[in-house]
Amino acid sequence: MKEGAVTIATDIDQLCINTIRTLSMDAVQAANSGHPGAPMALAPVAYALWQRLLRFDPADPIWPNRDRFVLSNGHASMLLYSLLHLTGVRAVDPDYERLGEPAVTLEDIKQFRQLDSKTPGHPEYHLTSGVETTTGPLGQGVATSVGMALAQRWLAAYFNRPDFDLFNYRVYAFCGDGDMMEGVSSEAASLAAHWRLSNLCWIYDNNRIMLTGPTKLAFTEDVAARFIGYGWDVTRVGDANDLEMLEGALRTAQNTNDRPTLVIVDSHIAYGSPNKQDTSAAHGEPLGEDEVRATKKRYGWPEDAKFLVPDGVYEHFQEGIGARGALLRAEWESQLGAYTEQYPELADQLRRMQRRELPEQWDQTLPAFPADPKGMATRDSSETVLNALAQQVPWLIGGAADLATSTKTRLNFPEAGVLQADAPGGRNINFGVREHAMVAISNGLSLSKIRPFASTFLIFSDYAKPAIRLSALMEIPVILVFSHDSIGLGEDGPTHQPVEQLTALRAIPGLITLRPADANEVAEAWRFIMERHHQPAALVLTRQAVPTIDRSTYASAAGLAHGAYVLAEAEGGKPDALLLASGSEVSLCLEAYEQLKTEGIRARVVSMPSWELFEEQGPEYREQVLPAAVTARLSVEQATTLGWDRYVGLLGQTIGMHSFGASAPIKDVQKKFGFTPEHIVSTVKTMVANSRPAGQ
């Protein structure tokens, strides 16, 4: 029944809510691991949103104009798995093909938190269809949701036309006290208000409990006042079980057109035992068999039933979200058909975007750079390449953490524009000094099939590391551009001279880190990055000029795609020593190589822009580049030497950083730490002498 704009609760509503609760309790109890409290408390809120408002078709969970639901308090994962199961969400494979089979079966729920299950402890984007983003560390989900909402605004500005409202979806995110405490949520909330993302709604579970006890131990701020200060609309629901009030608050959010909305929901978990307290044991651990039985009894549930889905529950969800979503998707697809006839070029771009494909001849304007001993900074050549690419790939957008003019990531062609609340189609994004939110928002853009780039100085990659890690974990092609990559910063000193950051990026599984040696390696790096559809990449660039290598004398920069390649070969292809380097240090090795040649020492210079790509090559190729018989090996890199031992071996040496650098002109700093051709030559001569048998 309906009363005004708000639905009146019925018995079937309560039955569905309690089904969500009991499935969550049973799964956590069976796993003897997990968090039952939040799913139990939030079940009515989730039910009101999914069953009554969410524009989502369970039969096609990747329909481009679907509403997005993000569970930022990911420890409540059983809430989401229960919803995916009960609403009948269907599975999709990595090639975006709809499989027709359930995304989450009842058996999957029984396997909660078990090895290789579709129901891991926290939602995983690439593992379970219907999960819009991986939400592990608190704060990441809400920050990512800002990127999803921003993506809708950009997609609408680019693709929508009169009578064709292709993109008008909304984004809802559940969050808890932990999300509110994490700094990244504050960064993201500030930007969401600045961009006036009225399509964004965060639903805050104000349950006043942390793992260690009540929030008053550490969190006493006025959250509502904080968000009002940001510029959000804030509303409150005093009882999480009041479906009418919940629906009314969510509809108010839908009708708010000038700012994002925070709905504060006061919740309390009702357990079976009257004296049960919502402490850390209840919040973060299974309830125990006795408490599960007592709680089910309180719900009017069969006490001994496990994983019970009563008659009528599946059907009710199909009549609600299922029927609504199917109708909305069918209408959208019909609209897309007419749109394709009227705007075939835009429709083709939309199809390519959704499948992470590139336009035809996307790389036709990639520049080639002439040899130049003075050269240019790789950040400068990257700017040239990026602008060439962006004019061929319209959905390549991004920005920097207030450093675009320094990292050279400004799109400077006339059509690019600046993204703002009143110009949502701009392709330059000003993130302000918010590195963490910048990458989390970029994750949201990528999950919406936009191709984002995000930039800052390499030293500040530490501030963004949690979100970078999630890019890799989700296997999404976010592009990270880090300039000012070494002690080559000179006078800026140790606080700004990255030393351990390069190694830290290389340590992230699934992240491709590329540190090109010159302008042509930069072009090849961008070519490679754009062709990777399911992998993030970090492009690490210099502020100082480096020579543009003469490729008529030395090897082609196309070797970059192999991660490491022979740039300068020893006479006869039989080297006495191997010089290994990345980035700006490659040119130092080339100078040393030429000097060693005059002294009768046959050196081979290997440019190693990406360890990860080199490791992807077969053993034969790796042996060709780094022959095991040559033990005199020297690595040269203005970063910590950690990891280079795998390539130089027990008998090799490294020239690298063992401290935090120094503040002085670049030449003085490089000389102090041994980054000169003369030091390289001296080191190689000693190594070669020691490696030769006596008498030779």
Give buried/exposed letters for 30-61 (b at 16+ CB in 10 A, else e). Answer: bbeebbbbbbbbbbbbbbbbbbbbbbbbbbbb
* Nearest-angstrom CA–CA distance, 581 and 573: 19
The dihedrals phi and psi of 6, each to the nearest 5 degrees, come to -120, 135
Q: If you write DSSP's letter for every residue of 156-223 in order, what string do you get?
A: HHHH-BTTB------EEEEE-HHHHHSHHHHHHHHHHHHTT-TTEEEEEEE--EETTEEGGGT--S-H
Amino acid symbol at 587:
S
Q: What is the DSSP letter of 322?
A: I
At a CB cut-off of 8 Å and minimum separation 6, what does 323 contact? none
Half-sphere exposure of 491 (CA within 13 A, CB side): 1
Residues 479 and 536 sit within 8 Å (Cβ to Cβ)? yes
* Nearest-angstrom CA–CA distance, 312 and 306: 17
Catalytic residue among 291, 383, 435, 612: 435
Amino acid symbol at 613:
L
* Nearest-angstrom CA–CA distance, 552 and 520: 13
At a CB cut-off of 8 Å and minimum separation 6, what does 571 contact? 597, 602
Cα 561 from chain centre: 23
Residues 331 and 57 sit within 8 Å (Cβ to Cβ)? no
Active site residue 182: no
Tokens of 566: 């022979």
Residues 655 and 675 sit within 8 Å (Cβ to Cβ)? yes
Tokens of 677: 């051709």
Amino acid symbol at 204:
Y
Tokens of 342: 């009227």
Residues 102 and 90 sit within 8 Å (Cβ to Cβ)? yes
* Nearest-angstrom CA–CA distance, 611 and 93: 30
Q: Of how many residues is the chain composed? A: 696
Beta strand ranges found along 523-625 (DSSP E): 537-540, 545-548, 565-568, 577-581, 603-607
At a CB cut-off of 8 Å and minimum separation 6, what does 325 contact? 54, 55, 56, 57, 58, 59, 63, 66
Phi-psi region of 33 (alpha: psi -120 to 50; beta: other; left: phi over 0): beta
What is the crossing angle of helices 289-299 and 11-31, to 10°? 180
Question: At 690, is the secondary structure helix, strand, or coil?
Answer: helix
What is the crossing angle of helices 461-474 and 140-159, to 10°? 70
Amino acid symbol at 663:
S
CA angle 224, 227, 233 (to 5 degrees): 90
665 burial type by CB count under 10 A (0-12 exposed, 13-18 middle, 19+ buried): exposed
- Pick the closest to residue 382 from 529, 249, 262 (CA basis): 529
Active site residues: 435
